[in-house]
Amino acid sequence: MENSFEALIATYIENKVGISEHFLSTNLANNLKQNLIALNQKSLLKEAGIGNSEKVSYDGAIRSDSIYWLDKKHNNAFENEFFAQIEEFILYLNQSCYAGITGYEFHYSLYESGDFYLKHLDQFKNNPSRKYSMISYLNSDWQESDGGELLIHQLDNNQKISPTQGKTVFFKSDELVHEVLVTQNTRMSITGWLKSD
């Protein structure tokens, strides 16, 4: 476990974008994916908004994915296993980097064929509590022709990241503009933020 934590931190320090290819085990990624599929079949996912609860809007010309918030109150075994791993990572991050993280929030994210999310920052102008963004992908057998890459914009090095299963991406929420390119296949992830309230 610590190897995947260290991979995220080391690559983040090197390039402002941390990547661990196997942050999620195959078993956990598969179980989370099946949970997301079941939630979608029950029509429990909602249109994703722009902004936070204080100022939210919906614009399919900017983003077109659907989401479902994870919550310990659901008492879902696989979500709780994911939360336990995130809490271990936060402890490791705080101890090794003095990050001061005190909380987190995560949601499932589902992009159907043709969906996208235009350039944006993850930290709200009216609330700076989101410190780091984390995205864990749930897509097995993803092909380059499926599109749906995460494109992170940096002055000297735009980075295109394929959403392959088990991979987790980590970066500062107020620093890097990014977008999700148009996907040609169903694209699933858990997206969230490490917070300091």
User: What does the alpha-carbon distance between residue 5 and residue 1 come to, in Å, rounded to a whole number?
Assistant: 6
Q: What is residue 155's predicted lDDT score, i.e. its pLDDT?
A: 81
Read off the pLDDT of residues 111-140 as tens digits, 9 standing for 90 and up: 999 999 898 877 766 667 899 999 999 999
Structural domains in the chain, CATH included, are 1-48+63-195 (2.60.120.620)
The answer to whether the CB of 168 falls within 8 A of the CB of 8 is yes
Q: 25 CB contacts (<8 Å, ≥6 apart)?
A: 166
Q: What is residue 24's predicted lDDT score, i.e. its pLDDT?
A: 95
pTM: 0.92
Q: Residues of the chain whose pLDDT is less than 70?
A: 49-59, 124-127
Q: What is residue 12's predicted lDDT score, i.e. its pLDDT?
A: 94
Q: What is residue 47's predicted lDDT score, i.e. its pLDDT?
A: 87
Q: Is 84 helix (H, G, I), strand (E, B) or coil?
A: helix
Q: What is residue 157's predicted lDDT score, i.e. its pLDDT?
A: 79
Q: What is residue 62's predicted lDDT score, i.e. its pLDDT?
A: 84
